[in-house]
Structure 1
Amino acid sequence: MDIRITSGRLKNARTKAVISFMFKEQKKLSTDIQEVDEVLGGAVSKLKKDLKFDGSFGKIITVPALGKGKADFVVLIGAGNKKDFDLDKARRLGAAAVRRMREMKVDKFLIDGEALSVKDEQSEIAQALTEGIILGDYRFDKYLSKKDSFQVKEVQIRVSRKYKSQSEKSSEIGSILAQAQNFTRDIVNEPGNVITPQKLAEIAEDLAREYGFEVKIYDEDEIEKMGMNAYLAVAKGSANPPRFIHLTYRPKKSKKEVVLIGKGLTFDSGGLNIKPGDYMRWMKSDKAGAC
């Protein structure tokens, strides 16, 4: 998926769908959407009225252009109340947008980030939308015999021209963060017979080599020498021996140490209290803390 920052008039956007947002406090369509509405002969305002679209968070209306505009569809998504709006909601709206486009099989679209600006925070909104788009587009279909071949190819995030440069940098950061989360989701979604403690340690070593981390993997003998008996006791619930992973990242201008500790049971069978069937299938997720 190619995500890029753009600016310009919505009515001139060359893409398959234009997605904009509306807060509940707005009584009228934004100026940009009004221009699009005029091109479509008032179809947006008519559907907004007919469906009683009031900008409630997550509510969506889709207007087919029917050949009248440069885009095939215009989509309005409710952003809720302005006073309650934050970057997490922007992230969720990005996810909602890409999911709707997947449902419609639209592989190229524009999201109007400028429409979500409350306090000139457009670069932060661009980052949040980028994260939401990538996270919302996530699929784990590795083991499915029939896979959905559809892929979103291009997303434009529109901001005001003066915020374009900073938004490009922010969007790149958002892309890195979201892709890292999706990488983690892939590991978590793998079953316990694939991601064993040893396999998780190998993944950590691969990451360390690729990105320049320091890594030390402790085996069961080293763990015992450190007196981590509770750790060893839990590991006795499996034939797979435990691994203790210590990753260290030292940025050039670091000022203080930050320590993160994550628990990673690659499969939690329940120990003395075996998990029932309904819960057993989700116990692969107990490794998420270490991923």
Structure 2
Amino acid sequence: MTTPKLALTDTAVAKLTADALVVGTVQGADGLQLAPGADQVAAAYDGDLAKVLTSLGATGKADEVVKLPAGGKLRADVLVAVGLGKPAANGGVSGEAVRRASGAVARSLSGVEQAATTMSTVDLSAAVQGTVMGAYAFTSYKSQSGDGPVSKVDFVVGDAKADANAHALKGAAAIGEAVNTARDLINTPPNDLYPASFAERAAEFGRTAGLEVEVLDDNALRKQGFGGILGVGAGSARPPRLVRLRHKGPKAAKKVALIGKGITFDTGGISIKPAASMEDMTSDMSGAAAVIATMLLAARLNYPLDITATVPMAENMPSGTAYRPGDVLTMYGGKTVEVLNTDAEGRLILVDAITRACEDEPDYLIETSTLTGAQVVALGKRTPGVMGSEEFRDRVARLSQAVGEGGWPMPLPEELRGDLDSKLADLANITGHRWGGMLAAGIFIEEFVADDVQWAHLDIAGPSYNTSAPWGYTPKGGTGVPVRTLAAVLADIADRG
């Protein structure tokens, strides 16, 4: 992961020296309009900048990037206009529009030594986050990686020495880098990222960040009765792990548990998946990656919270030792589950971790996972489903929407609980039908959450991995969703309790 060098500047835009100077454009009702911050640049073009850009085909639509030579009118070599899309309902520009536009322009500036952007005059934090996330590229396995990301970006602000601006830069950069850390983990291929190596990497990250670290290997898991994790991992030659990371912040008034699904590769097990697109199942540990990255962020920003991450890691493979449909597993804590489908494995490792996490008596529990294909059917590839205790679920969803990750609250209908009844065990791992699959998985998880804990489950099956072309600040491959949601929730708990 390579992050551009970031700096604040209050130099007049017309006097900025850079290889590229970035301004925003808006898709107005009557054509292209210049976004705030572009006034001095427009003056250098005798007020005709909008007309010049329009003549080049610019419309201001989201993700649109148009470059033109500065022609001696500015001290920058190239002027870059990036589209912010249509105005928000209040007529202004939203933070997410700035974040997305900053990401799109950062992607277009690979190989550039120094750029300056006026997007920061609209929303500094969003501009920084978008730039850091947009400049991301995963090139570890390429023999020729091409041009690297833009080397340095100056953000135009009114006062470069103001504490508020410095704080915004630091916080936004830290969040963007945490997203990129999660992306790196997700994009690492499963022959290199398997339970033991994933646990080692998480432990190394944690110790370097000053976190408390505990790693349980398969022997420890067996001794302590983690039947779900062991059952799912039984078919692989690479045994499972459970990683625990703890951040104890200053004057921590609230305890928060984070849980992330860490299936390092998912074949479906005996209930094997179709071959088409199975390679995307390298991303089935996206929840774990997001939680680990969030813990590193919590340490870096020193949240005044007591946060413990419990991260189960396993590889779901078919073999002579694999668990089967019809098996009954005894989960951590003693509940029994009849396995009707081995491809519904994520919930089995998660509830072991959830039960263990609830022993710490947290005030809040947040779990995230690439749990169901039904999430994609219901909400598409960019919108996480949020389930859980109603008040906290809605709080998490609002914060997710505010940071641009778009979490949407979903119900846990009581009538679906009976469909998880088992003739052999306390419950089955799936229903006998395809209806409400995302919700049924949430209901299964709810069975293992302690009654007095406010909790939320984020299903990120679609949003965590982008199989199409890059857009905005989102690359192809791992996206890092929902790191920004988790960060916002932690900050909100620290602020409001």
Does TM-score exceed 0.5, indicating one fold?
yes
1:97 aligns with one of 97, 105, 114:
105
Higher relative strand content: 2
CA contact (8 A) 1:130 1:174 kept: yes
- How far is the alpha carbon of 1:114 from its aligned partner? 4.8
Give matches, 1:106-145, under 5 Å: 106-116=112-122, 125-145=123-143
The equivalent residue for 2:88 is: 82
2:15 aligns with one of 12, 17, 20:
12
Distance 1:216 1:25, change over 3 A: same
Distance 1:214 1:12, change over 3 A: same
Residues in 2 aligned to 1:209 and 1:194: alpha-carbon distance in whole angstroms: 21
The equivalent residue for 2:146 is: 148
- How far is the alpha carbon of 1:109 from its aligned partner? 0.9
- How far is the alpha carbon of 1:226 from its aligned partner? 3.1
Moved more, 4-13 or 53-62: 53-62
Residues in 2 aligned to 1:35 and 1:170: alpha-carbon distance in whole angstroms: 24
Match of 2:240, SS state, is coil
In the alignment, does 2:64 pair up with 1:56? no
What letter is aligned with 1:65? A
- How far is the alpha carbon of 1:278 from its aligned partner? 2.8
- How far is the alpha carbon of 1:83 from its aligned partner? 2.7
- How far is the alpha carbon of 1:162 from its aligned partner? 7.9
- How far is the alpha carbon of 1:128 from its aligned partner? 1.9
What letter is aligned with 1:140? F
- How far is the alpha carbon of 1:201 from its aligned partner? 1.4
Match of 2:153, SS state, is strand
Higher relative helix content: 1
Residues in 1 aligned to 2:260 and 2:37: alpha-carbon distance in whole angstroms: 47
- How far is the alpha carbon of 1:115 from its aligned partner? 4.5
- How far is the alpha carbon of 1:30 from its aligned partner? 6.2
The equivalent residue for 1:119 is: none
Distance 1:144 1:52, change over 3 A: closer
CA contact (8 A) 1:4 1:155 kept: yes
- How far is the alpha carbon of 1:257 from its aligned partner? 0.7
CA contact (8 A) 1:13 1:71 kept: yes
Moved more, 53-62 or 231-240: 53-62
- How far is the alpha carbon of 1:262 from its aligned partner? 0.7
In the alignment, does 2:200 pair up with 1:192? no
- How far is the alpha carbon of 1:225 from its aligned partner? 3.3
The equivalent residue for 1:234 is: 232
The equivalent residue for 2:460 is: none
- How far is the alpha carbon of 1:248 from its aligned partner? 1.2
The equivalent residue for 1:65 is: 70
Under a length normalisation based on structure 2, what TM-score does the superposition of the two structures give?
Answer: 0.52
Give matches, 1:241-256, under 5 Å: 241-256=239-254
Q: Residues 250-272 of structure 1: CA distance to partner in whole angstroms, max 9, x if unpaired?
A: 10121111111111011112202
Match of 1:273, SS state, is coil
- How far is the alpha carbon of 1:139 from its aligned partner? 1.1
- How far is the alpha carbon of 1:38 from its aligned partner? 4.2
Percent identical residues: 28
Structure 1 segments unaligned to the other structure (5+ residues)? 117-124
CA contact (8 A) 2:102 2:119 kept: no
Q: Residues 68-114 of structure 1: CA distance to partner in whole angstroms, max 9, x if unpaired?
A: 32111122222231337432332212111111222xx4321111135
- How far is the alpha carbon of 1:33 from its aligned partner? 3.4
CA contact (8 A) 1:19 1:110 kept: yes
1:2 aligns with one of 5, 10, 24:
5
* RMSD over aligned Cα atoms: 2.5
Match of 1:66, SS state, is coil
Higher relative contact order (CA 8 A, sep 6+): 1
Residues in 1 aligned to 2:64 and 2:201: alpha-carbon distance in whole angstroms: 40
Residues in 1 aligned to 2:237 and 2:108: alpha-carbon distance in whole angstroms: 44
> How many residue pairs get matched?
281
Moved more, 245-254 or 72-81: 72-81
Residues in 1 aligned to 2:61 and 2:275: alpha-carbon distance in whole angstroms: 39
In the alignment, does 2:288 pair up with 1:290? yes
CA contact (8 A) 1:24 1:82 kept: no
Give matches, 1:214-225, under 5 Å: 214-225=212-223
Match of 2:124, SS state, is helix
Distance 1:271 1:188, change over 3 A: same
What letter is aligned with 1:110? A
What letter is aligned with 1:205? A
Moved more, 86-95 or 8-17: 86-95
Match of 1:49, SS state, is helix
Q: Residues 164-185 of structure 1: CA distance to partner in whole angstroms, max 9, x if unpaired?
A: 4311211111222222221221
Distance 1:26 1:169, change over 3 A: farther
- How far is the alpha carbon of 1:155 from its aligned partner? 0.2
Distance 1:96 1:151, change over 3 A: closer
